[in-house]
Amino acid sequence: MSDGAALAGPDGVLRCPWALSTEDYVSYHDEEWGRPVHGDDALFERISLEAFQSGLSWITILRRRPGFRTAFAEFRIEKVAAFTDEDRDRLLADPGIIRNRAKIDATLANARVLADWAEGELDEFIWSHAPDPAARPAPKTLADVPAVTPESTALSKALKKRGLRFVGPTTAYALMQACGLVNDHLESCVSRTGPAAR
């Protein structure tokens, strides 16, 4: 298939090869992945979805994201923190999400922890772990993209120390990639080189 270098899609544009596996991935890659995400609720959503993704393909989560948003009150921290046992039972029976008891419980517990944080604290906390972009050369192939970094390990430890769950170093790095703390678009990918690139 590929040596992991950027590939041309049907439109002739070079993209990270993973983006071409499904149409859903193309738009996610072009419009979301690697672009800065700010706001406590938005970051709580990403933390939660990355936790649900653990052990699964991201496409499984992406295609259920509307269902997740409906089930978890658009991931508004204050609302999820107030979920009751009845809400938990509803989530465990909801076919629109991944009905994993441990991941559901972690999401509810994380919301309760974050509800006690000051406004903007989660945003500042996560972004304080962003590495210096100048110290990171653009990856040429997928082989140059790590699964874990010292920064993601530090972020994972810091989040766990503050009481958050399902935030291991690999999950933390996926969060950093998705939310733009790092730019892992390949060197020749349109999202790094094109007019819409950051």
Average pLDDT across each block of 10 residues of the chain; the chain has 198 residues. List them in order: 80 95 94 97 98 95 98 98 98 98 98 98 98 92 96 98 97 97 96 64
State the Cα–Cα distance between residues 84 and 8, nearest whole angstrom: 48
Residue 55 gets the label, from left (phi > 0), alpha (psi -120 to 50) or beta, of left
Q: How many residues make up the chain in this entry?
A: 198
Nearest by Cα to 129 from 173, 193, 85: 173
Q: Are 34 and 184 in contact (CB under 8 A)?
A: yes
> Could you give the residue numbers annotated as active site?
28, 50, 58
- Tell me what pLDDT residue 1 has: 41
> Global pTM?
0.94
CA 170 to chain centroid, in Å, comes to: 11
- The strand ranges marked E within the chain are 7-8, 14-15
CA 123 to chain centroid, in Å, comes to: 14
